[in-house]
Amino acid sequence: MTVKTRKAIENTIQMRLAQSEADYRAAHQLLQSARGQSGLAHDSGAKYWLLKQHALPSTGTLIATAKGEVLGAICLFGESPFGLPIEAHHPLAGLRSQLTGRTAEISFPAVKTGHEDLLLPLYQLALKFGSTFCLYEHFVTEVPTSAWKQLENSGFLSELSRSKHILALCSPILAESPLPCKVEFPEYKFFRTAHQHMPPDVYAQLFPKEFFEKLSDSELRVLKNIYDFSDYARSLPNRGLQVGTCPKSRRFPLSCEGYLVLAAGEKLHVLVLDVSRQGLKIRSEEPLEAGHSYPLNLSVGLMKQTELIASVIWVDELSQTAGLQVQSGDGNWQELLDYLETSGSKTVA
């Protein structure tokens, strides 16, 4: 195998989020093939590696390309009601009790033959994206035993447990090193809008009807409570499931975090999924009580905070989501809504 020099990689390779249907199909076919060869695949007969977590906005597919060809791919799975894929066979309860902050999973990278030099840069790319753009503090990954020695020497992996494969903790310090190629990430605009990286038309093509038929009613309800806005909702089948009440005004997807103050004065971390003139939909780590009002402090943009008082209208404990009606908001909240109604819906940031 000929290993390219750093300069050769720099001149030919581009790393970015998958964007088109062709990007996603090439990436997930490559990932499925690599997982089958390494023994990581649990559905070896499938053409694409597509899990229920891939259908969530908290999952990102990152690729390395050259002249339009996908040479490598890796996935970042964020926290979600479905849990991390790795938790299906590696329980993380003990690890989580020792960590503070949010945890994400990085898949084992897939690379085409002759491009093994991209393995470490793909890990680095996922760590950089996860720590600087998605603001995760901790990262876990599953590494095939056959690849462990090659990666162990890089110094960014710490073995947690070993069975058929190796569960490891990734050090974000790797993200601090410059990547040996051109990298393109979305930029946060003034407000953090459009959290979904996959365009709705690509979502509809990548996840066919057969994909959703395999989901249980409870799993589909989770997706409906996340995607009951704009064009994404059209991809989801209608099984007559009850979801949260639709707002009277247009709903805008949002990607921002903050905290809600409970009655005892404790702060509860929340993730805002979307907002409208009447209210907002959030995901919280603990269930809220319908009918109660809470103060919220949200980071809605770069150096931009907003303070609200909102009452809980509905709660879906399964998907960890709740719909809130805003009772009062400050000037930044009003500015955010004005921005969304004029130009915010067109941004991808």
* Residue 1 within any structural domain of the chain: no
The 3-class secondary structure across 53-91, one letter per residue, is HHHCCCEEEEEEEECCEEEEEEEEECCCCCCCHHHHCCC
* Residue 193 within any structural domain of the chain: no
Which amino acid makes up residue 320? Answer: Q
Q: Which of 185, 213, 234 is the last residue of a domain?
A: 185
Is the same domain home to 97 and 179?
A: yes
CA dihedral 290, 291, 293, 296 (to 10 degrees): 30
pLDDT band for position 188 (cuts 50, 70, 90): low
Which residue in this structure is represented by tokens 């809600």?
260
Structurally, the chain folds into a number of domains equal to 2
Per-residue pLDDT tens over the stretch 44-85:
678 999 999 999 888 999 999 999 999 999 999 987 778 899
Is the same domain home to 57 and 94?
A: yes
Is the same domain home to 160 and 74?
A: yes
What values do phi and psi take at 109, rounded to 5?
-65, 155
Is the same domain home to 109 and 209?
A: no
Q: Which CATH number goes with the domain that contains 293?
A: 2.40.10.220
* Residue 191 within any structural domain of the chain: no
Is the same domain home to 162 and 36?
A: yes
pLDDT for position 196 = 61
Is the same domain home to 248 and 322?
A: yes
Distance (Å) of CA 97 to CA 58, 82, 92, 101: 22, 19, 9, 10
Q: Which CATH number goes with the domain that contains 28?
A: 3.40.630.30
More confident residue, 10 or 141: 141
Is the same domain home to 232 and 256?
A: yes
Q: Which of 185, 218, 253 is the last residue of a domain?
A: 185
Is the same domain home to 113 and 59?
A: yes
- Domain boundaries, position 133: 6-185
Per-residue pLDDT tens over the stretch 303-344:
788 999 999 999 988 778 899 999 999 999 998 888 877 754
Q: Which of 152, 185, 218 is the last residue of a domain?
A: 185
Is the same domain home to 287 and 316?
A: yes
